[in-house]
C-alpha cells in the first residue's frame, strides 16, 4: 500500500505548471490528493510525474458575483462550505457540500478536484450539472470553458485533457422565483451516497414553471432530468410519484455490496419526491433560501 | 537509477525539522519513520479510518492522504504536541482518561487531534454536534459512546478552566498581578 516512485514538481506559477504538463504526457495534477493519493497508494494510478498545484497563487479564491460563484482550483470544500457569500448567491452549494465526505477530508479536498475527478457518486459534479455550470481549463496552448454538459463523459472520466489544469469552476446564481433542495442516503453520513438528488424548481404564481433534478450514484455519469412535464405544474403526491418514475427512465441504478438495484430505484422515488417538495417550499417561502 | 530525494522542511509541534525523502513518502510515514513520531497511527492508509489525523496549519487532515513533500513549510501538530507545555494532559486527553474514551488506543491519536480542532471551532457542541465531530473516525473497541462523552467532558473542562482563570483575574490579587 505504498505509491510507486514518481517525479514531483511544485511549480510556483501556472505557466510553469502548464509547461510541465505539456512536456510529460505521463504527468498527473495533484490538488487536495483526497482521491489521488489513495489511488497512488493502491497503485491504481502510477504516473511518471506529479505536478503539485498547492503553491500556485490566486487559485484559492472564491469570487462571488450576482451572476454566480467562481471557485478556484485550490479552494477546499470546507472553505466553500463556510462562505456565507457563496451560500447567499447559490444556496445549493452549501446544502450539497455538507454531504461531501467528512469534515477532515473537506479540509484538504478541493471542489474543483472533485468535479474533474468526475465520480458519478460525488455530490459536486451533479450540482454543477444541474445548475448548468462550467469549468475553465488552461493548457500551454490556451484556455477554454467546458460546460458541465460536455465535461462528464464516463465513469471517472472527464473531457479535460491530461495537459490541462482546471483553474476554476463556475456555479450560476439562484435565479429569481427559484428554490433548491438536496438530500441523499448513505450508509453513514459522510460516506459516498447510495443515491443522492439535487433539485431546482421555479414557481410562478404558485404553479411549477420548471423543475429539474441532478442524480448521483444511480447512473454512470452525473445525470440531470427535466421533471417539469412529469410534475404537470403542481406538487402533489401523485405528481411527485410521477416525477420519480420519469426520472428512473433516465437512470440506471446498479447493485453493489451496499445496496440492490431495486433499493436504489426506491431511493430515487423517495428522494425525488422529498427534494422536489423541499425545493418547491424553498421557492415559495418568504426570504426563500436565506433561511 | 536511484530515486530522486527531496529536502522537506516541516514545523512539527513547534519545532522545525528537515527531512530528505522520496516524493512518494506519505506524510504519515514521514512522521513515523523519518521523524520517529510514532504517535500518529496508520490504520487503513486510504482516508477512511482517521487514525492518522493530524493538524495541518490548525486544521485536521489525514496524514496518509498527503505527501510529505506537499506539506513543505506547513505547521503540523501530532498527538505528541497536544500536551500542555508543562507536560500535563490537555483537556481532551484528560477527558478521554476520565470518560474511558479509549481501550486499545489505536484510534485515539486521530480522535484527540480531531476533537482538539473541533472544540476550537465549536467550544460548546450539542450532543448531535459532538457525535458529528467524531463521525469521520473509526474505533473498533469502545462503541463510541464514551468517546462522545469525552467530547462533551472536554468542552466542560475547557469552560471550567476558562472560568477559573477569569475568576482569578477578578480577585484583587489576580488583578494586581
Ligand atoms: C474517506 C473519503 C470519503 C470521501 N467521500 C466523498 C463523498 O462522499 N463525496 C465526494 O464527492 N467526495 C468524497 N471524497 C473525495 C473528496 O471529495 C476529494 O476531495 C475529491 O474527490 C478530489 O479532490 P482533490 O482536491 O482531493 O483532488 P485530487 O485527489 O488531488 O485529484 C483527483 C483527480 O483530479 C485531478 N485533478 C484535481 N484537481 C485538478 C485540477 N485543478 N486540474 C486538473 N486535474 C485535477 C487529479 O489529477 C486526479 O486525477 C472522499 C474522499 C475520502 C478519502
Ligand atoms: S490511516 Fe489515514 S485515514 Fe486510515
Ligand atoms: S480504542 Fe481500540 S480502536 Fe478505538
Which pLDDT score is estimated for B166?
A: 85
- pLDDT tens for A51-85 read 999 999 999 999 999 999 999 999 999 999 999 99
- pLDDT tens for B84-113 read 989 999 999 999 999 999 999 999 999 999
Second CATH level (architecture) for the domain B91-169: Orthogonal Bundle (1.10)
B41 touches chain A (CB under 8 A): no
B60 touches chain A (CB under 8 A): yes
Chain A, chain B: beta-carbon pairs less than 8 Å apart: 88
Segments making up each domain of chain B, as ranges: 5-81, 91-169
| Complex prediction ipTM | 0.93
From the list B4, B22, B50, which residue is nearest A104 (CB)? B50
**Average pLDDT over every residue of B137-151:** 97
CB-CB neighbors (< 8 A) of A4 in chain B: 24
Contact between chains at B114 and A104 (C-beta distance less than 8 A): yes
Question: B72 exposed, middle or buried (CB, 10 Å; 0-12, 13-18, 19+)?
Answer: middle
Which pLDDT score is estimated for B176?
A: 46
- pLDDT greater than 50 at residue A291: no
A190 touches chain B (CB under 8 A): yes
Contact between chains at A105 and B66 (C-beta distance less than 8 A): no
A46 touches chain B (CB under 8 A): no
- pLDDT tens for B59-71 read 999 999 999 999 9
Model confidence pTM above 0.90: yes
CB within 6 Å of ligand 2 — which residues?
A: B 42-45, 47-52, 62, 64
- pLDDT tens for A190-200 read 889 999 999 99
Are the beta carbons of B21 and B8 closer than 8 angstroms?
yes
Helices (H), chain A: 14-23, 36-41, 77-82, 84-89, 92-97, 103-106, 111-117, 123-131, 148-151, 228-231, 237-248, 261-284
Task: Report chain B's mean pLDDT, rounded to a whole number.
Answer: 94
Q: Which H/E stretch holds residue A214?
A: strand A207-216
**Average pLDDT over every residue of A117-146:** 98
Measured between its terminal Cα atoms, the distance across chain A in Å is 46
Does CATH number 3.10.20.30 belong to domain B5-81?
yes
Using a 6 Å cutoff on CB, does residue A101 contact ligand 1?
A: yes
- pLDDT greater than 80 at residue A287: no
DSSP A154: E
**Average pLDDT over every residue of A252-264:** 96
Which pLDDT score is estimated for A1?
A: 80
C-alpha A89/C-alpha A67 separation (Å) is 8
- pLDDT tens for A217-233 read 999 999 999 999 999 99
Q: How confident is the model at residue B53 (pLDDT cuts 50, 70, 90)?
A: very high
- pLDDT greater than 60 at residue A154: yes
Answer whether B5-81 and B91-169 agree in fold.
no
CB-CB neighbors (< 8 A) of A52 in chain B: 67, 69-70
- pLDDT tens for B155-176 read 999 999 888 888 887 765 544 4
Helices (H), chain B: 27-29, 91-99, 108-121, 127-133, 145-170, 172-176
Within a 10 A sphere around the Cβ of B114, how many other Cβ atoms? 26
Beta bridge partners of residue A85, listed in sequence order = none
A12 touches chain B (CB under 8 A): no
CB-CB neighbors (< 8 A) of A41 in chain B: 26, 45-46, 64
B116 touches chain A (CB under 8 A): no
Within a 10 A sphere around the Cβ of B135, how many other Cβ atoms? 17
Which pLDDT score is estimated for A286?
A: 63
- pLDDT greater than 70 at residue B152: yes
Which pLDDT score is estimated for A189?
A: 82
Contact between chains at B46 and A42 (C-beta distance less than 8 A): yes
Q: How confident is the model at residue B1 (pLDDT cuts 50, 70, 90)?
A: low
In chain A the domains, ranked by start, together with CATH numbers, are 7-52 (3.30.43.10), 62-172 (3.30.465.10), 180-284 (3.30.390.50)
CB-CB neighbors (< 8 A) of A54 in chain B: 70
Contact between chains at B4 and A8 (C-beta distance less than 8 A): yes
Counted residue by residue, chain A has a size of 291
- pLDDT greater than 80 at residue A246: yes
Measured between its terminal Cα atoms, the distance across chain B in Å is 65
Amino acid at each position: 500500500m505504498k505509491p510507486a516512485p514518481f517525479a514531483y514538481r511544485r511549480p510556483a506559477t501556472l505557466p510553469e505548471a502548464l509547461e510541465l504538463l505539456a512536456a510529460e504526457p505521463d504527468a498527473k495534477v495533484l490538488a487536495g490528493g483526497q482521491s489521488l493519493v489513495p489511488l497512488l497508494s493502491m497503485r491504481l494510478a502510477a504516473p511518471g510525474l506529479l505536478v503539485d498545484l498547492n503553491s500556485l497563487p490566486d487559485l484559492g479564491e472564491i469570487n462571488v458575483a450576482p451572476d454566480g460563484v467562481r471557485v478556484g482550483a485550490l479552494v477546499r470544500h470546507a472553505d466553500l462550505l463556510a462562505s456565507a457569500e457563496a451560500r447567499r448567491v447559490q444556496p445549493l452549494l452549501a446544502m450539497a457540500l455538507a454531504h461531501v465526505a467528512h469534515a477532515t477530508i473537506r479540509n484538504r479536498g478541493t471542489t474543483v478536484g472533485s468535479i474533474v475527478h468526475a465520480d458519478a457518486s460525488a455530490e459536486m459534479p451533479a450540482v454543477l450539472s444541474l445548475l448548468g455550470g462550467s469549468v475553465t481549463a488552461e493548457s500551454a496552448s490556451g484556455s477554454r470553458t467546458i460546460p458541465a454538459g460536455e465535461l462528464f463523459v464516463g465513469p471517472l472520466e472527464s473531457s479535460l485533457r491530461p495537459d490541462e489544469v482546471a483553474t476554476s469552476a463556475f456555479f450560476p446564481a439562484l435565479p429569481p422565483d427559484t428554490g433548491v433542495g438536496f438530500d441523499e442516503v448513505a450508509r453513514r453520513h459522510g460516506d459516498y451516497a447510495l443515491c443522492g438528488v439535487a433539485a431546482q424548481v421555479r414557481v410562478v404564481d404558485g404553479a411549477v414553471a420548471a423543475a429539474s433534478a441532478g442524480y448521483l450514484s444511480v447512473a454512470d455519469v452525473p445525470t440531470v432530468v427535466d421533471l417539469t412535464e412529469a410534475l404537470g405544474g403542481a406538487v402533489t403526491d401523485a405528481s411527485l410519484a410521477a416525477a420519480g418514475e420519469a426520472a428512473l427512465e433516465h437512470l440506471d441504478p446498479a447493485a453493489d455490496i451496499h445496496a440492490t438495484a431495486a433499493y436504489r430505484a426506491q431511493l430515487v422515488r423517495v428522494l425525488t419526491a422529498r427534494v422536489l417538495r423541499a425545493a418547491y417550499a424553498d421557492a415559495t417561502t418568504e426570504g426563500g433560501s436565506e433561511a | 537509477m536511484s530515486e530522486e530525494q527531496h529536502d522537506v522542511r516541516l514545523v512539527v509541534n513547534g519545532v522545525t525539522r528537515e527531512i530528505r525523502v522520496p516524493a512518494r513518502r506519505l506524510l504519515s510515514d514521514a512522521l513515523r519513520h523519518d521523524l520517529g513520531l510514532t504517535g500518529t497511527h496508520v490504520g487503513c492508509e486510504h482516508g477512511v479510518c482517521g487514525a492518522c489525523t493530524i493538524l495541518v496549519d490548525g486544521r485536521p487532515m489525514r496524514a496518509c492522504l498527503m505527501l510529505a513533500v506537499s506539506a513543505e513549510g506547513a505547521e503540523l501538530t501530532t498527538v505528541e504536541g497536544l500536551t500542555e507545555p508543562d507536560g500535563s494532559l490537555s483537556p481532551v486527553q484528560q477527558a478521554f482518561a476520565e470518560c474511558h474514551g479509549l481501550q486499545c488506543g489505536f484510534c485515539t491519536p486521530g480522535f484527540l487531534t480531531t476533537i482538539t480542532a473541533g472544540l476550537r471551532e465549536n467550544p460548546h457542541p450539542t450532543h448531535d454536534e459532538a457525535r458529528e465531530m467524531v463521525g469521520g473516525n473509526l474505533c473498533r473497541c469502545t462503541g463510541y459512546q464514551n468517546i462522545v462523552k469525552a467530547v462533551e467532558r472536554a468542552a466542560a473542562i475547557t469552560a471550567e478552566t476558562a472560568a477559573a482563570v477569569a475568576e482569578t483575574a477578578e480577585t484583587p490579587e489576580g488583578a494586581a498581578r
